[in-house]
Amino acid sequence: MFPNASSDDYVLISVSDSGCGMSKDILEHMFEPFFTTKEEGKGNGLGLAIVSGIVESHHGFLNVRSEPGKGASFSVYLPAYHGRDAAFQPERFGDDEIRGGDETILIVEDEEMLNELLATMLMSKGYSVMSSWDGRDAVEVYMKNHDRIALVISDMGLPKLSGSEVLTWIKEVDPAVKFILATGYIEPDERSAILQNGASEVILKPYKVSDILKKVREVLDA
């Protein structure tokens, strides 16, 4: 069922309900950040994305079964640990494993759940994390800690200062800052202008956790 499984044994946690169930289309998108079936203003669609990210960070797998009118069943598979002297090796992965690091990364994101998701994923890879929820605070945090911060990941649409403005202010402190800007749809000309202004990379939201972890490592190693 899971070709990338790295352990011989897994612990299964299963949760089921008898609710309205989900269609095939919803099942295909349910773990994507910001995907939601709720009305506007009733939810941001990050809950299941965070669940998926946490399970992934522990090298586990998720399986969901649901049909309209027949409820849903969520199965979480986590690698089993058999004791202090067991031969189980949780870091035994293939060549496509995403490499982490010990650098400090500043996350600038006003969506609290997404901020926490990114922080969890980065810390699971060994990084240290600082977080800001608006542009002005991000600049202040960077000014106080620029000698420690190796990379900034910032949303474009922030309170008080935009992501682009944050980049401009931070470049006054460190012209060589490594800076990833996350945004929704963006015109090619605007993307080029942001890169010319000093951003290391522009990524589109919603993004997969694995994609941003890879991009973080690429930018840090550049």
Q: Does 160 lie in the same domain as 209?
A: yes
CB 106 within 8 A of CB 142: yes
Q: Does 140 lie in the same domain as 52?
A: no
Residue 94's pLDDT is 38
**Rounded mean pLDDT of 100-109?**
96
Domain-embedded: residue 133: yes
Q: Which of 123, 130, 116, 119 is nearest to 101 (CA)?
A: 123
Q: Does 44 lie in the same domain as 148?
A: no
Residue 57's pLDDT is 72
Domain-embedded: residue 156: yes
Q: Which of 143, 45, 48 is nearest to 132 (CA)?
A: 143
pLDDT 10s digits, 25-58: 888 888 776 677 766 555 555 567 777 777 877 7
17's tokens: 């309900």
pLDDT over 90 at 114, yes or no? no
Give the C-alpha separation, 92 to 69, whole Å: 40
Domain count, the chain: 2
Among the ranges given (40-49, 93-102, 120-129, 195-204), the one the predictor scored with the smallest mean pLDDT: 40-49
Cα distances from 168 to residues 131, 142, 183, 215, in angstroms, run: 19, 12, 16, 21
**pLDDT averaged over every residue in the chain:** 84
Give the C-alpha separation, 132 to 110, whole Å: 8
The three-state secondary structure class of 214 is helix
Q: Which of 18, 16, 27, 14 is nearest to 75 (CA)?
A: 14
Q: Does 113 lie in the same domain as 200?
A: yes
**Kind and range of the H or E element at 51?**
helix 47-57
Q: Does 180 lie in the same domain as 131?
A: yes
54's tokens: 């946490």
Give the C-alpha separation, 182 to 169, whole Å: 17
CATH code, domain carrying 206: 3.40.50.2300
74's tokens: 């969520």
State the DSSP code for 218.
H
Residue 121's pLDDT is 87
pLDDT over 50 at 90, yes or no? no
CATH code, domain carrying 38: 3.30.565.10
Among the ranges given (84-98, 106-120, 154-168), the one the predictor scored with the smallest mean pLDDT: 84-98
Give the C-alpha separation, 6 to 207, whole Å: 25
Q: Does 183 lie in the same domain as 118?
A: yes
Q: Does 158 lie in the same domain as 121?
A: yes
pLDDT over 60 at 180, yes or no? yes
Q: Does 130 lie in the same domain as 75?
A: no
* Domain coverage including residue 126: 104-221
**Rounded mean pLDDT of 179-199?**
87
pTM more than 0.85: no
